[in-house]
Amino acid sequence: MIKKILHSKLFRDSFIYVFADVINKAIPFLLLPILTYYLTPADYGKLATFNSFFGLMGIFIGLSIQGAISVNYYKMKKEALAVFVGNVIFILAFSLFISLIIVTIFQYQISNYVGLDIKWLYAASIMSFFSFIVLVNLSLWLVEQKPLFYGSFELLDTILKLGFSLFFVVSLLMTWQGRILGMLIGTSISAIFSFILLYKRGYLKFQFDKTYIKEALHFGIPLVPHRLSFWLRTGAIILLLNNLAGKNNTGLYSVGLQFVIPLSVLTIAFNKAWAPYLYRKLSNNPSIEDKIKIVKFTYFYLVGITLLSLLLIWLAPLIMKLLLNKNFHNASMFIKYLTMGVAFQGMYFMVVNYIFYVKKTKYLAYITFSVSLINISLAYLLIKKNGALGAAQANAISMFLSFLLVWYYSNKAYPMPWTLIK
């Protein structure tokens, strides 16, 4: 079975996605020694709070509608899909407009709580808009199963953002502000390229269609609590840390997150190849034997993720001491629990796709949002008890709970022979 997997298109595509994502994530990771030389833990705390707000804006501006584009790729002709994408862009522009109005009205309250000037709040909102344009383009390459195009464009986006960031941080000594400005300019250029490519590839036609608007919103709006739940586990935790443990600890926590990225890259990259493959298999009314093969492969994957997690827990602290300025060495205390959280998230990916396939996202949102509220409560209590380490501990617990509950619900939404019994 393993030999067959190694020679399959799934494995080849997964390898390309993993390789591309490793390169994309390795570039900023390898630049950590430079950035930690020019930036302090407090500067990283500022960057973390900006990224937290950026993530929040992305939820309400993007509405996760790119998922509807991916699903409809298999159900619509290209001409109809182009109109659907155009209407998704209409929704995106309108949601950006509403978001900017809300930020303007509540600018002082938001600025005081987040700890950033209003101009950076506007920057986060606009960057979310540009990021979604890029995501739409990448999502279409994903479902077309063109990993080389996908990986190349991701690499271009990464180089642009980091290139501008290094110029502003190293050459102009703009510290954390330079990093944000570099991300904004790089994302803007990638979005312009994405817009042109969508049009050239025949995936963009601006023709207002109320039916498509409703369909996209029907898919995306129920996922807002779902996405918000993930933000509560990451972005909200950053804000909580910032208020309870200070900017220095927030910065160390964010650097610790950088060191578990390798495992995150592997799980996300594999899911990019696995999800289209699974959707195609399920759309062909698979036999019980085919379903058992899928389940066996899933268990094989879970064991692999567990072994990789143990390896990362051992290696990451050693690499951290070699690469980083000594002011950041204490970030190693977060590694064990952050790695566990990423591993459980990777396991979650393998079971949540069934729910997306049957479009029963409503109850998924209930599960993930409830778990996130538990996570926030746990984080508050554990940070009070164990300091900043409590945030990582709460994350690991909540991700494990989310995996178990979503696995249970996915089998209700689309039954699979998880007991390996016919």
Instruction: Tell me the whole-structure pTM to 2 decimals.
Output: 0.76
pLDDT band at 230 (very low <50, low <70, confident <90, very high): confident
**371: Cβ–Cβ under 8 A, 6 or more apart, which residues?**
229, 398, 401, 402, 405
DSSP symbols for 138-173 = HHHHHHTT-HHHHHHHHHHHHHHHHHHHHIIIIIS-
Mean per-residue pLDDT, 399-420: 90
Higher-pLDDT residue of 11 and 222 is 222
- The answer to whether the CB of 21 falls within 8 A of the CB of 269 is yes
pLDDT, mean over the chain = 86
Q: Hey, how many other C-beta atoms are within 10 angstroms of the C-beta on 98? A: 11
pLDDT band at 422 (very low <50, low <70, confident <90, very high): low
Q: HSE on the CB side for 268, CA within 13 Å?
A: 13
Q: Hey, how many other C-beta atoms are within 10 angstroms of the C-beta on 221? A: 15
User: For residue 274, how far is the Cα from the chain centroid?
Assistant: 16
Comparing C-alpha atoms, which of 141, 163, 157, 148 is closest to residue 190? 157
Q: Hey, how many other C-beta atoms are within 10 angstroms of the C-beta on 278? A: 20
pLDDT digits (tens, 9 = 90+) for 337-365: 999 999 999 999 999 998 888 877 778 87
pLDDT at 421: 64
Residue burial 14-24, b: 16+ Cβ < 10 Å; e: rest:
bebbbebbbeb
Domain residue spans in the chain?
1-28+222-422, 31-221
Comparing C-alpha atoms, which of 348, 349, 399, 409 is closest to residue 374? 399
- The answer to whether the CB of 334 falls within 8 A of the CB of 313 is no
C-alpha triplet 219, 122, 365: angle, nearest 5°: 25
- The answer to whether the CB of 154 falls within 8 A of the CB of 186 is no
Q: What is the DSSP letter of 324?
A: S
Q: At 174, phi and psi to the nearest 5?
A: -90, 5
pLDDT digits (tens, 9 = 90+) for 63-113: 777 777 877 777 778 888 888 888 989 988 998 999 899 999 998 888 888
Mapped onto helix, strand or coil, the DSSP state of residue 302 is helix
pLDDT at 2: 47
